[in-house]
Chain A
Amino acid sequence: MPSTTYAAFTLLAALTIGPALIAQSSKPAAGGSVRVSPPQLTLPIGETRQLAAEILDAGGRPADGRVMFFSRARRSLRCSRQGEVTAVAPGKHEVVVRAMFGRERGPETTVLVTVPHPAPAAIQLTDPPAAVFTGTRTQIQATIVDKDDVVRDDLQPVYTSSDERVASLDDFGFLHARAPGEVDLEVRGGGLTEELTVKVMANPVKRLNITCSQPRARTGDVVTFGVSLEPAEAVRIAEDGAGAPVPVAFSMMAMPDDTLGNAATGQITPDGKFVAEKPGLYAITATSGAATSTFMLRCDERFEQKRKLVKVGHGPVLDVHTSDLWVWEGVDGRDYCVTGTWGANGDAIFWDVTDPSRIERIATVTVDARTVNDVKVSEDGRLCIISREGASNRKNGIVAFDVTNPRKPERISEFNDELTGGVHNLFIHENYAYALSASRRFDILDIKNPRAPTRVGSYQVFEPGASIHDVWVVDGIAYSSNWRYGLHLVDVGNGVKGGSPSNPVKIGNYAYPNGWNHAAFPWRSKDTDKFYVIAGDEAFPYGLSTKDNPTYARGWIHFVDFSDLDEPQEVARYEVPEAGTHNLWVDGNTLYVAYYNGGLRVVDISGDLMGDLYQQGREIAWFLPTHPKGVVANAPMVWGPQPYKGKIFFSDWNSGLWCVELVADRGRRR
């Protein structure tokens, strides 16, 4: 390398450096130090500055050697090896200046570069009201932005009112209208001030009557409240005077049947949708100004008849971990299941489940892999495709079997082109296989001739660090799960966006903050005609124990209302405390969730959905599969469910294949 690269120290002619700063920031090796000019600096975004360095020996005299510069935050502060720094993003960033003597790492120092936020440029108010009504509460939403419209989260707006007798503002920006008049509101922050004049009008509502969509409800039912205002012309008066309806606030008081220290017991939204979590009496109050009205609603236990899950059969796999499953009706009319294996020998196991009380292991196939994470069977029951990870030659991919006779699966092809990094999940839909490629994208393979699959398309989320985990296809729409980038809906033949397998087209997407999006299942509610994509998490914040000890997973089920494909909304969840979700399935109004250490869970998702379905008592039943000789003894770890012909099959990571059914719970435990 040309020595000029390291000659930055020669740029120094005369340095005046604060010795205290050097003492704080440098880590000189014995016998020398590095002196940098400037020793620290403040650099606005977009600006560049050259650093210069000099190596000093133990006596403080200039010494020969090479110097390199590098930034410890290169995406926020660029730094060339020659010490030219350019500010990219706000913050306090470090540049390391390191000396090298011959073959040894020498002394070094650190230069602190402060990149300030750009100055605040404006205070932006979101839909500020021109007029409000006495006795109501309206939030003034203000944000402080810089010249690039980037929100300055580090600055909090301060709100004041010119006349608190007319209207006052609290620390959260809520405007409390008290008396007719006019007030000047001031929002300050970052040296800026934004002013707003608001007219406070007399509330035209003299009385209001609360209405309810039903006289009695069960826990988990979404009940809609409304109001009628008196005088009737109050609405028109409001529209004429303020250009908006007079606000009505709903509130709730709970009187649960269980009064022994019960927790919060219900939820009501600003638009009057209410759901109860516990049986009891609920007082729902609507208020506008001085007018109030209360409705007493009785909410009963959701299920009069309790049910439970009982074991029908078990196909034990006790020597290795079991992964996914697929149950299907074979071409001979009998019922079969295939399960994968995890961290083992690359096996997939075939079962005859025609009599689910006598699950029979009928065949095992082995491929070059350590994990067969996913297994799928075509709609006609003739083709099974399994995924490969951990191949000895690192050429993973998929392997296809003719399962016309599941007792003798015939290996007919494998495909690994551009899938070598590992296929974690796959799906089969109408002559196409959808296979994940090394967590980057899903590829679409034409399997009309399953002996010679060909790639015809692929879909990838092109975002920084995007990673895919699963894909599921229904009615020509692929639902992919992408961790922190959430759900992606892709037209692969549905036609809604003109997509096809060779031309997949994104329909919409939705991401949620925890970044755990692992699985997805589409479902249209026949009760409400709402279209949901139900998303499952996967998370192991306390690790995964592959042997000896149980695992304590986390995560929940997210109900995302995709009725408006452009404006999806997360409206409900199902969260079992102290456990973690994995795969899921919906049949009719029933959700089946493999809840890892929480076992198999069956949930009623009829009607409208809002809030936490678990807290609302919508869970129908649960089952904890255990086996004393399981891979981890007596530790449920349910991987995937599949309802099938009135029964529920599921795979358990520690103990194999299970079949259970829902029966009435008459309270007997023996």
Chain B
Amino acid sequence: MRSLVSAFGLVAAAAAQATPTEQQPPAPLYTAYVACESSDEVYIIDFDGKSAEIRAVFEVGYQATEIEGPHGLTIGPRGQFWYCSIAHGKPFGLLYKYRVGSNELVGECELGMFPATMQISPLTGLLYVVNFNLHGRMLPSTVSIVDPDAMVEVGRTVTGAMPHGSRLTRAGDLHYSCAMMSGELYEIDACSFDVTRSMQLDINRPKNHSSEAKPTWISPHPTQPRVYAALNGKAQIVEVDTERWLVKRRFATAKGPYNLDVSADGRSLVATYKTAGEVGVWDLAAGEERARIKSSRAVTHGVVISRDSRFAFVTSESKNADPGTLDVIDLRSDKLLATVVVGLQAGGLALLER
């Protein structure tokens, strides 16, 4: 999911409750949640279509003197809660649930090793989070399936080594992820929790779980039976036809494609190029990269496109003590519109839209 949430109802209800003398300022058009993996912070940033500013910063985690690594973020379908995966645990990571607005912690749930990206299915109401498990030996890991109402894990599905890029179809019935070190694409039935199909994305089946392709992300097309996978190790994005279950097109990219998002209108794909420190904007019909934009910092990481297909929000990690950033790119001009400096190693990203 692109974490695009319609909070309109929520905002409208709040406005209806306000008396004429208690006029609230208009809610921002877009609110970005940015996880800073090495400073254990989440930044909440408002963007009004022109400029962005930090509304709140707060710390997450429970073992304070260790880097706990908030990694994945998503927002519930009704816009009432936001969720954050805490990658490092003792040793298992956690999922935290916060109330939108007050940012009150309302629930938590233990997951597997290094839980990372996640999304909630509008169909099942369940949250699907990959246990990235980049620690130690490369073994098949899992996708945890969580009931976010009760904050309990209700299922766990085994996939490949270092699963990443947990994304669902718009209908919410199929879950896709890729296994970075075993080089596979996995499809899970969101209702049965079963793996229904998998595909080897390396040309040659990797030995000892050391994929050359290193797929790091998956993004389903909103209207067509397609998913796009970023092959971080091959500087490629592949388009997989999910009806015929084969790779249909390959796009050469800059070095280190990492995260992807497809616009809601289905026309554009935005890719972060982690190694190159750039962002690529692709015209999917033409199969061409129509723009390449330098990130404001090195180690470009996450991307989410607003539901109106107007803006791409991009995080960059940077290195060492240099803080990360949130960049906002105007997808009409394909220009960098705004940059906000955040905490260390900015990665996970979710977007709440009015």
Contacts and interface: CB of A to CB of B under 8 A. Distances in A.
Interface residues of B, number: 52
Interface string A85-98: 00000000010101
A68 B123 CA distance: 11
A346 B91 contact: no
Given A68-B191, A392-B318, A439 B123 contact: no
Nearest to A81: B192
B276 interface: no
B134 A70 contact: no
B154 A439 contact: no
B154 A70 contact: yes
Interface in A540-568: 540, 543-544, 546, 551
B122 A105 contact: yes
A421 B114 contact: yes
A421 B135 contact: yes
Contacts, number: 144
Interface string B46-87: 000000000000010011111100000000000000000000
A392 B317 contact: yes
Interface in A484-513: none
Interface majority SS (helix, strand, loop, mixed), chain A: loop
Given A72-B154, A418-B137, A421-B135, A343 B191 contact: no
B38 A343 contact: yes
Interface in A337-371: 342-346, 366, 368-371
Contacts of A390: 37-38, 67, 344-345
Contacts of B344: 343, 370, 390
A20 interface: no
B193 interface: yes
Interface stretch (B6-14, B145-153, B263-271): B145-153
Contacts of A421: 88, 114, 134-136
A538 B66 CA distance: 11
Contact of A72 (B39, B152, B170, B321): B152
B191 A81 contact: yes
B134 A420 contact: yes
B65 A544 contact: yes
Given A98-B125, A370-B67, A392-B345, A437 B136 contact: yes
B88 A422 contact: yes
Contacts of A71: 154
Interface in A1-33: 1, 5-6
Counting chain A CB atoms within 10 Å of each CB, the highest count among B135, B137, B152 belongs to B135
A483 B194 CA distance: 35
A468 to B, nearest CB: 8
A445 interface: no
Contact of A366 (B122, B135, B320): B320
B123 A103 contact: yes
A103 B124 contact: no
A104 B123 contact: yes
Contact of B91 (A94, A370, A438, A544): A438
A482 to B, nearest CB: 9
Counting chain A CB atoms within 10 Å of each CB, the highest count among B39, B126, B194, B321 belongs to B321
A271 to B, nearest CB: 37
A92 B324 CA distance: 47
B90 A439 contact: yes
Contacts of A320: 321
Contacts of A100: 123-124, 191
Given A74-B153, A392-B319, 5 more contacts: A1-B189, A100-B123, A343-B67, A438-B88, A439-B90
27 contacts: A1-B189, A6-B191, A66-B191, A68-B124, A71-B154, A73-B152, A74-B155, A105-B123, A105-B124, A343-B344, A346-B320, A346-B321, A366-B320, A368-B320, A370-B321, A389-B38, A389-B67, A392-B317, A392-B320, A418-B137, A421-B114, A439-B89, A440-B136, A441-B136, A465-B91, A466-B91, A540-B65
Q: Which 7 A-B pairs have the closest CB atoms?
A: A544-B64, A421-B135, A438-B135, A345-B321, A467-B90, A390-B38, A370-B38
